Amino acid sequence: MIPATFDDYRLLARARLPGILFNYIDGGAFGEETMRRNVEDLRRLSLRQRVLRDVSQVTLSCSLFGDAIGMPVVLGPVGLAGMYARRGEVQAAHAAEKAGIPFCLSSVGVCPIREVAEQSRRPIWFQLYMLRDRGFMAQLLATARDSGCSVLVFTVDLPAPAVRYREVRSGMVGRATLGNRARTALNAASHPGWLWDVFIRGRPHTLGNIAVDGSGAWSLQEFWDWVRRNLDPSVTWDDLAWVRRQWPGPIVLKGVLDVEDVREAVRIGVDGVVVSNHGGRQLDSALSSISVLPRIVAEVGNQLPILVDGGIRSGLDVVKALALGAKACLLGRAWAFPLAAGGQRYVTHMLDALRQEINTALMLTGCVDVKAAGQHMLASERST
């Protein structure tokens, strides 16, 4: 039986993946409080059920940055996806293409930009981490531009990776000692399906977009060591001018969680913002994305599109975010787990189910067009 819910996919991914990879996807920073808040605050929102309205024709399509999309959903950037399934980023991009939605490739994906872009018939988005070497960054952005990437998603909430204790316990973070390597190899050997299909048949296992930097051969521990050494913690708003000179298309800031920061983003002239706390993987005890979304939407108005991620696991979650003013939602774990569980087929099934969930929720709230979603769709004590 094909899995139906987020939890179904998560359980299958847990059985299929070595623990070190499952915990990388599943875990958050420190005590994982913010990761839990993302989910719990979405669950606390209630939708307003309406009846006897003509909902025979429901429109899910909309547009983002000049691109028509089939529903207000984006497959957001997920690191190391090519380790969850064979050439995983390519498989996920195919699923997104079939659903008529954007796929955003992570800077730290296994498959390089050119491979994913050449195998997709619609332009992909590219997610950027700012590294210390500006010459290398200029080359990377040129590759993304020349490969036809349409939108640059600039992640701004990672001046340094947070402590993620689950990754420490699993051995992903720490010295690449002989003992750690042996433990990782033993764990991989206990998952023969993954070992054959992904580890053996899915090579090469490099960080495709940064392999040209001489970091092509790595263990998972070496990957994190490379990240820590190369992320640039000195980046400020002034550096956006440099990014703009390298990138002629839309620039979207991902990781904004404060009204003062979104004011600055509007002043600088970015093209969009993703309200995000990095899936609870950075500042633990930060507010959930959904809880700050209404304030940010109120501040921005119609000046630029506001997207959101963090805890989005179902079509109902998407509708709640749209009701609070988001133009679209980015998915992370929601597509990473299906990819790990069954590759492109399961990501496609998840997106088909998500589409149906969005459609049904809109019908039952009396809304016939995602573009007309608003706070009138949310229930409160006064409306019952």
Which residues are catalytically annotated? 278
Long-range contacts at 90-94 (CB < 8 A, ≥ 24 apart) = 90/115, 90/116, 90/119, 90/120, 91/339, 91/343, 91/344, 91/347, 92/335, 92/339, 92/344, 92/347, 93/119, 93/120, 93/124, 94/119, 94/120, 94/344
How deeply is 155 buried, as exposed, middle or buried, from its count of CB atoms within 10 A (0-12, 13-18, 19+)? buried
Residue 326 contacts residue 291 (beta carbons within 8 Å): no
Buried b (16+ CB within 10 A) or exposed e, 46-85: ebbeeeeeebeeeebebebbebebebbbbbbbbbbbbbbb
> Residue for token digits 């496609």?
348
281 CA to centre of own chain = 12
First-to-last CA distance in the chain? 39
Strand spans (E) along the chain: 62-64, 67-69, 73-75, 104-105, 125-128, 151-155, 251-256, 272-275, 306-308, 328-331
Question: Please, where are the H alpha helices in 147-203?
Answer: 165-170, 178-189, 192-194
CB 38 within 8 A of CB 48: no
Centroid of chain to Cα 134: 25
